[in-house]
């Protein structure tokens, strides 16, 4: 059974070929790569109708299946949030949540083998077999937290599933919005799904380590996008500036899903030092703003199997055309090395 790899493309058609080449290079499974064309008004990064045909042309050139996301009135509201009005999304989160929910309901949930959903700016960077990874598991994702860790749900950026062995998979919905009175991002409502089917889900956790805004003497380090630590490498000093970030526990872990480590501080520092060495080796433009993604249970971040361009929708204030060109060239060099 082939592994199905799905991505959603809208404002970076040039990433399709780059992502496809890394999948061919590093994925050790037979696979199908399928692109959802999701360029519509209302999502982050602005709308350009020319990109609709650019995505189609890229897929045709590479002989890839390309599926346009239609608007379905039955999915217009997810978890109490309006996803689209007329022919445009109500925002970036809605664009992600709606398109994935539509694809999940109509295509992904019906797959008979391993399926992977991966953001269009994520690229494989080490040999990996998703078939082997998922032996003994049916749901792999990296957890996102809200409300002092009481709410936990899968983020949509990288999700690996075995649909035929998951409970009520066809009714999974990736809406954001309020969960137990707390605002959540894409996938928030799956907090309820996890609680309802906790005895039937065999979960494998993924962690995303980010080297973000690097302004001396502190560098912003992110874990799973919901814990921001500021590290001074010279002093080995860690600051927490956002009260929503979980306290740093030297002898244990940052999040409940992580395994206990006898020296968590050393684990944290070693991961951060590797990120810095990686950044320096490839001379990222500042802010560096990238992630390396690995299985949580693996101690070595050098085992990361995905590198994440991050914020490719260009909503960050520094994402000028010159910055994006420089960063894209860095990624091409990394992925060709």
Domains in the chain and their CATH numbers?
3-205 (3.90.550), 207-336 (no CATH)
Measured in residues, the chain has a length of: 337
**pLDDT tens profile 299-320:** 999 999 999 999 887 788 898 9
pLDDT at 313: 79
Q: State how far the Cα of 46 lies from the Cα of 225, in Å rounded to an integer.
A: 23
Let me know: does 23 contact 33? Beta carbons within 8 Å: yes
Pair of tokens at residue 178: 């309020």
Q: pTM surpassing 0.85? A: yes
Q: State how far the Cα of 324 lies from the Cα of 154, in Å rounded to an integer.
A: 28
pLDDT at 130: 98
Q: What is the mean pLDDT of residues 23-49?
A: 95
User: In Å, what is the CA distance from 118 to each residue of 41, 49, 147, 181, 248?
Assistant: 22, 23, 26, 29, 29
pLDDT at 118: 98
Phi and psi angles of residue 160, each rounded to the nearest 5 degrees, phi first: -125, 125
Question: In which region does residue 149 sit, left (phi positive, over 0), alpha (psi from -120 to 50) or beta (all else)?
Answer: left
Question: In which region does residue 213 sit, left (phi positive, over 0), alpha (psi from -120 to 50) or beta (all else)?
Answer: beta
Q: What is the mean pLDDT of residues 205-218?
A: 94
pLDDT band at 192 (very low <50, low <70, confident <90, very high): very high
**pLDDT tens profile 95-151:** 999 999 999 999 999 999 999 999 999 999 999 999 999 999 999 999 999 999 999
The residue among 278, 281, 337 whose CA lies nearest residue 308 is: 278
Let me know: does 226 contact 146? Beta carbons within 8 Å: yes
Pairing between β-strand 81-82 and β-strand 84-85 as defined by DSSP bridges: unpaired
User: In Å, what is the CA distance from 259 to each residue of 36, 71, 140?
Assistant: 35, 41, 15
Per DSSP, 138 falls in state: S
Q: State how far the Cα of 122 lies from the Cα of 288, in Å rounded to an integer.
A: 15
User: In Å, what is the CA distance from 23 to each residue of 123, 207, 232, 257, 312?
Assistant: 8, 20, 35, 28, 19
Phi and psi angles of residue 268, each rounded to the nearest 5 degrees, phi first: -65, -50
Helix (H, G, I), strand (E, B) or coil at 67: strand
Q: State how far the Cα of 251 lies from the Cα of 253, in Å rounded to an integer.
A: 7
pLDDT at 250: 61
Residue 268 CB contacts under 8 Å (≥ 6 apart), including other chains: 229, 238, 248, 254
């Amino acid at each position: 059974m082939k592994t199905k790899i799905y991505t959603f493309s809208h404002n970076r058609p040039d990433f399709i070929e780059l992502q496809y080449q890394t999948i061919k290079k590093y994925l050790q499974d037979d696979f199908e790569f399928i692109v959802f064309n999701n360029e519509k008004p209302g999502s982050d990064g602005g709308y350009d109708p020319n990109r609709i045909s650019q995505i189609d042309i890229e897929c045709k050139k590479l002989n890839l299946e390309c599926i346009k996301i239609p608007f379905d009135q039955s999915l217009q509201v997810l978890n109490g949030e309006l996803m689209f009005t007329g022919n445009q999304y109500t925002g970036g989160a809605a664009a992600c949540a709606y398109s994935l929910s539509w694809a999940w309901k109509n295509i992904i949930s019906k797959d008979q083998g391993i399926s992977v959903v991966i953001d269009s700016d994520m690229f494989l960077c080490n040999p990996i077999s998703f078939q082997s990874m998922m032996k003994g598991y049916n749901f792999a994702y990296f957890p996102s937290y809200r409300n002092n860790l009481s709410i936990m749900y899968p983020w949509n950026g990288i999700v690996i599933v075995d649909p035929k062995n998951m409970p009520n998979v066809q009714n999974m919905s990736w809406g954001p919005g309020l969960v137990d009175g707390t605002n959540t991002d894409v996938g928030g409502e799956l907090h309820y799904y996890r609680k309802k089917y906790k005895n039937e889900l065999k979960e494998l956790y993924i962690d995303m380590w980010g080297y973000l805004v690097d302004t001396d003497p502190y560098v912003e380090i992110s874990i799973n996008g919901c814990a921001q630590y500021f590290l001074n490498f010279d002093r080995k000093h860690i600051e927490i500036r956002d009260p929503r970030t979980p306290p740093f526990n030297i002898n244990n872990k940052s999040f409940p899903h992580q395994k206990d480590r006898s020296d968590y501080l050393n684990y944290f520092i070693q991961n951060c030092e590797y990120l810095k060495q990686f950044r320096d080796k490839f001379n990222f433009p500042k802010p560096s703003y990238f992630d390396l993604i690995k299985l949580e249970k693996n101690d070595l971040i050098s085992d990361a199997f995905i590198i994440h361009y991050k914020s490719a929708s260009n909503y960050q204030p520094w994402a000028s055309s010159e910055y994006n060109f420089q960063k894209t060239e860095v990624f091409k060099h990394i992925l060709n090395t």
